[in-house]
Amino acid sequence: MNFKERLAAQAARVDKLLEEYLPEESGHQKTIFSAMNYSVRAGGKRLRPILMEETYRLCGGTGTEIEPFMAAIEMIHTSSLVHDDLPAMDADEYRRGKKTTWVVYGEDMGILAGDALMIYAFETATKALHWTAYPERVVRAISILAEKTGIYGMIGGQTVDVELTGKPVPEDKLRFIYALKTGALLEASMMIGAVLSGADDEMVKKAGEVALLVGMAFQIQDDILDVTSTTEELGKPVLSDEKNQKTTYVTLYGLDAAAQKVKELSERAVSLMHEIPGENAFLEELILSLVNRLK
């Protein structure tokens, strides 16, 4: 199997795993089950669970207690998209070519579906207890999940992003938004993989640092692609940042400096990743594909 085939197989495996945890659509509260399932099934590349599992294997993990956390991180990611799309936030009616959750289920159910996924992620994560002899690792992993998702992570980044919409963004705040809004869930993915495998604190820290570098590179590459590629290549509208008068790494420093920064960050990420002992060829390709993600 080449890299692309293996990545597709992993994504299919995550889809299957998610199905095992998603609620059955019956009972009085059926609507919320449907809205959750619709949101999760709308797809995506499942990169966070794949990154989590690969880090777990790299650090020597061989069990199945990683699986509930793989499902959980994707639920959290989905919940943030569901709330981001709401009329009071980005007011998006389509995502990945499908109607967004609030358009299909109403604004009230859109709010509740995001809440539901967020909480159900934690409910799902606790199921790891059944498959490990190390309950304290489960608590530490839940702690990372919450910290990187919440006010010191993703939600913190979203707050600043929302506040600065339509305003000029100074560099330190742009960095903050990139690190927290995009970087934090990648950090959580790799750190949880490391924690559940039993890796020591130094390795867990290293995994987090790799993920943060990847997150920054990913986001700057996003800025570049918005300017340099076509809608067909990218799979979403280009020049949207210019249209929305958005401050990006490209508007601040220009294309060349941005490209240089991506190169520098991804090289540092890969080199740091090599300090974690273990079979890492796929993870290296995964990191580089995340950064250079033209189809």
**Smallest distance, Å, CB 133 to its own copies?**
10
Whether residue 258 contacts residue 249, with contact meaning beta carbons closer than 8 Å, is answered with yes
Mention every residue, 6+ apart, whose C-beta is less than 8 A from residue 145: 69, 72, 73, 76, 121, 122, 125, 188, 192
Which tokens is 131 given?
Answer: 């498959």
* 150 lies in the site for its own copies, by CB under 8 A: yes
Contact segment (CB under 8 A) with its own copies among 107-115, 182-190, 227-235, 246-254 equals 107-115
Contact pick of 129, 239, 257, 294 for its own copies (by CB under 8 A): 129
40 vs 291 by CB, closer to its own copies: 40
Contact pick of 52, 112, 199, 214 for its own copies (by CB under 8 A): 112
Whether residue 117 contacts residue 83, with contact meaning beta carbons closer than 8 Å, is answered with no
**How many residues at the interface with its own copies, by CB under 8 A?**
56
* 23 lies in the site for its own copies, by CB under 8 A: yes
Q: In 3-state terms, what secondary structure has residue 95?
A: strand
* 89 lies in the site for its own copies, by CB under 8 A: yes
Contact pick of 19, 107, 233, 242 for its own copies (by CB under 8 A): 107
User: Cβ–Cβ contacts within 10 Å for residue 143, how many?
Assistant: 12
**CA separation for the pair 209, 184 (Å, rounded):** 10
* 119 lies in the site for its own copies, by CB under 8 A: yes
Greatest Cα pair distance, the chain, in angstroms, is: 56
41 vs 173 by CB, closer to its own copies: 173
**CA separation for the pair 235, 245 (Å, rounded):** 21
13 vs 140 by CB, closer to its own copies: 140
Q: In 3-state terms, what secondary structure has residue 98?
A: strand
Give me the amino acid identity at 214. Answer: V
Contact pick of 8, 9, 12, 139 for its own copies (by CB under 8 A): 139
**CA separation for the pair 145, 278 (Å, rounded):** 24
Contact pick of 5, 136, 232, 256 for its own copies (by CB under 8 A): 136
* 191 lies in the site for its own copies, by CB under 8 A: no
Contact pick of 51, 81, 142, 211 for its own copies (by CB under 8 A): 142
Contact segment (CB under 8 A) with its own copies among 59-67, 108-116, 230-238, 266-274 equals 108-116
**CA separation for the pair 175, 47 (Å, rounded):** 22
* 86 lies in the site for its own copies, by CB under 8 A: yes
* 151 lies in the site for its own copies, by CB under 8 A: yes
**CA separation for the pair 217, 292 (Å, rounded):** 9
20 vs 233 by CB, closer to its own copies: 20
Whether residue 31 contacts residue 109, with contact meaning beta carbons closer than 8 Å, is answered with yes
Mention every residue, 6+ apart, whose C-beta is less than 8 A from residue 10: 46, 50, 53
Question: Which residues contact its own copies by CB under 8 A?
Answer: 23, 27-29, 31-33, 36, 79, 83, 86-89, 107-112, 114-116, 118-120, 122-123, 126-127, 129, 135-136, 138-140, 142-143, 145-147, 149-151, 155-160, 162-163, 172-173, 176, 180
